[in-house]
Amino acid sequence: DAGVIQSPRHEVTEMGQEVTLRCKPISGHDYLFWYRQTMMRGLELLIYFNNNVPIDDSGMPEDRFSAKMPNASFSTLKIQPSEPRDSAVYFCASSSSLGGADSNQPQHFGDGTRLSIL
Amino acid sequence: DAKTTQPNSMESNEEEPVHLPCNHSTISGTDYIHWYRQLPSQGPEYVIHGLTSNVNNRMASLAIAEDRKSSTLILHRATLRDAAVYYCILRAFLGGNQFYFGTGTSLTVIP
């Protein structure tokens, strides 16, 4: 079975440019999560969706960040305009609520997008 | 979410058991204990989870203290492929399925 697929794997762009990260969750999963990982702050939850609806975006650092999930098989995380401090590895994860919303189903992570803003 | 405390790093010899501790003194009665690990250049990977009883699966065992204020992830026979950062996470029963990762323990396996 295909896991969580993220694209691109690496992105290098100049400050001020718009960056779009993409994620395809595992088919049938109804939760989708976006994380950011840096050496300084570790793994941080940015936002998560349930059935394509954003549930908690309190981790989104500022208005330059936005996330969408137009359908069950696709999500984007956009940064506009990008800044050097946005450089990090961004992970997407998905999980199922099989057995109920509190079923403790594990999260399945993609391989991440390594973003460098020059 | 309640906080967890783990040692920053640990070492183990190959083919020996490894006990990775986690303290969670503020755990509530309905918080589940989850463990994930992250190999170099990869996303985190689920290892095991439990509530009160000890748990075993093909990857590891989870030993939970009787008062639930601490737990230990046990790798029965460390291999070089087990070198990773191990995260202990508490998930509230009604937490909505999100996880908050701490700093984790970096495990080095010595050949």
Query: Is the per-residue pLDDT at A114 higher than 60?
Result: yes
Judge whether B103 is closer than 8 Å to chain A, CB to CB: yes
B97, A106: Cβ pair inside 8 Å? no
Q: How close is the nearest chain A Cα to the Cα of B43, in Å?
A: 5
**Contact predicate A108/A95, CB 8 Å:** yes
B99, A31: Cβ pair inside 8 Å? no
What string of DSSP letters covers chain B? Answer: ----B--SEEEEETTS-EEEEEE-TT--TTPEEEEEEE-TTS--EEEEEESSS-EE-SS-EEEE-TTSSEEEEEESS--GGG-EEEEEEEE-TTSTT-------EEEEEE-
**Structure-token pair, residue A5:** 């697929």
Interface of B with A in 9-28 (CB under 8 A): none
Q: For residue B20, name the pLDDT band (cuts at 50, 70, 90).
A: very high
CA distance to A19, A35, A72, A106, per residue, from A53 (Å)? 22, 17, 10, 20
Query: Is the per-residue pLDDT at B36 higher than 80?
Result: yes
Rg (CA), chain B: 13
Q: What residue of A is the nearest CA neighbor of B47?
A: A106
Name the burial class of residue A47, with classes exposed (0-12), middle (13-18) and buried (19+) by CB atoms within 10 angstroms of its CB.
buried
Query: Is the per-residue pLDDT at B99 higher than 70?
Result: yes
CA–CA dist B69, B1 (Å, integer): 14
Interface of A with B (CB under 8 A): 4, 31, 33, 35, 42-45, 48, 50, 55-56, 91, 93, 95, 97, 101-102, 104-112
Query: Is the per-residue pLDDT at A3 higher than 80?
Result: yes
**Structure-token pair, residue A36:** 């950011």
| Residue A109 with chain B: CB contacts under 8 Å | 42-45
Query: Is the per-residue pLDDT at A24 higher than 60?
Result: yes
CA–CA dist A108, A93 (Å, integer): 5
Query: Is the per-residue pLDDT at B95 higher than 80?
Result: no
CA distance to A94, B50, B99, B105, per residue, from A106 (Å)? 9, 12, 10, 20
Residue A33 has its nearest CB partner, among B49, B95, B98, at B98
Disruptive mutation site among A90, A104, A108 for chain B (greatest number of B CBs within 10 Å):
A104
**Structure-token pair, residue B34:** 């989850």
Cβ-Cβ pairs closer than 8 A, A with B, add up to 60
B46-86: per-residue pLDDT in tens? 999 998 989 999 999 999 999 999 999 999 999 999 999 99
A87-105: per-residue pLDDT in tens? 999 999 999 876 555 557 8
Q: How many residues does chain B have?
A: 111
How many helices (H) and strands (E) chain A has is answered by 0, 11
Q: How close is the nearest chain B Cα to the Cα of A87, in Å?
A: 15
